[in-house]
C-alpha cells in the first residue's frame, strides 16, 4: 500500500516557492483565520469533496496541521483517494511560523 511522505519545513518551503505543490491546512477555522501559511487552502469536511474534484490526483499535496500529527492521517486519507504524492508537514504550522512568515489577521 502506498503511503504519504514526511516533509520538513525547509523542503516544503522550497516546493511551495517553486510552485511544485499545493498546501492544505486542516486546522480549525478560527486558527486558520487567525494565522496561516501564505497560499494555504483551508481544507475541512465542507470543502474536501470540491478540493478532490478540482485537484488532479497527480498534484503534489502538502498537508499542514498544528504540530504535524493530525496531518499524517489526512495525508494518508488523500493517498487512499488516489493522490500519488502527498506529504505531511513535519512540525506543522507551529514549526513553520518559527522559521518563516505567516499571514495573520493582524497583518
Domains of the chain: 5-104 (3.40.250.10)
pLDDT tens-digit map of 76-98: 999 999 999 999 999 999 999 99
Count of residues for the chain? 107
Q: Which positions are annotated as active-site residues? A: 65
What does pTM read for this prediction?
0.95
- The pLDDT assigned to 107 comes to 52
Residue 13: predicted pLDDT: 98
If you average pLDDT over residues 4-19, what whole number do you get?
A: 98
Name the E strands within 1-107. Answer: 5-7, 22-25, 35-36, 41-42, 61-64, 86-89, 103-104
Average pLDDT for 48-68: 97
Amino acid at each position: 500500500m502506498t503511503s504519504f511522505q514526511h516533509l520538513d519545513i525547509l523542503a516544503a518551503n522550497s516546493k511551495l516557492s517553486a510552485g511544485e505543490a499545493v498546501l492544505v491546512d486542516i486546522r480549525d477555522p478560527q486558527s486558520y483565520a487567525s494565522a496561516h501559511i501564505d497560499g494555504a487552502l483551508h481544507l475541512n469536511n465542507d470543502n474536501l469533496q470540491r478540493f478532490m474534484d478540482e485537484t488532479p490526483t497527480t498534484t503534489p499535496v502538502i498537508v499542514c496541521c498544528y504540530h504535524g500529527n493530525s496531518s499524517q492521517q489526512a495525508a494518508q486519507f488523500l493517498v487512499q483517494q488516489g493522490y500519488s504524492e502527498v506529504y505531511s508537514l513535519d512540525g506543522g504550522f507551529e514549526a513553520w511560523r518559527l522559521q518563516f512568515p505567516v499571514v495573520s489577521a493582524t497583518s
